[in-house]
Amino acid sequence: MSAVNSVKNPSFFFAGKGRHGAIFTVSNNVRGQHHTFKITASKDGAVFFVSRLTAPEHYAFMGTIFNKSNPTVKIGKKSKVPADHVGFKVIDWSLGQVVAGKDLPAGYAIQHNGCCARCGKVLTDPQSIDRGIGPTCAKAMGIA
């Protein structure tokens, strides 16, 4: 079983704004486990809020990322996910893999949900699907 990584560009993780966000699933097919996360930016884009899917259409706040180049989720007082939850290890590992440009081990996958991380529109262009960000939003972000 090979590794799948539809999230190849770190910009994807930090593109989310407003109610939209970078939604992606990290899976370990060897163990049969997966976790779905959503990352949205603050209004000024300085910090990023991480949530984990806990029920259909419901994301529970986990913590905050303060540094895009060293994206570690810092748990806060308002976290709805216990500090010892495996989701913290999974999100930190997956962000680190993509930001460092590392290949995933066999059996692991990080896949976006098929929608633009910035505006939430369905992606249809192959380049946009690879990037996880549509052409208009990529241009606005200066990554087109």
Residue in 106, 125, 107 with CA at minimum distance from that of residue 116: 125
Q: What is the DSSP secondary structure assignment for residue 28, as one 8-state letter?
A: E
Q: Is the pLDDT of residue 129 over 90?
A: no
Cβ neighbours of residue 43 closer than 8 Å, sequence gap 6 or more: none
Q: What is the pLDDT of residues 66-121, one digit of tens each?
A: 999 889 999 988 998 888 999 999 999 999 999 898 988 888 989 888 888 888 88
Q: Are 98 and 13 in contact (CB under 8 A)?
A: yes
Q: Over pLDDT 90: what percentage of the chain?
A: 41
DSSP secondary structure, 58-73, as one string: EEEEEEEE--TTS--P
Residue matched to tokens 């560009």: 9
98, containing H or E segment: helix 86-99
Q: How far is CA 133 from the centre of its chain?
A: 12
Residue bearing the bigger pLDDT, 61 or 127: 61
Residue type, 138: A
d(CA 108, CA 103): 10
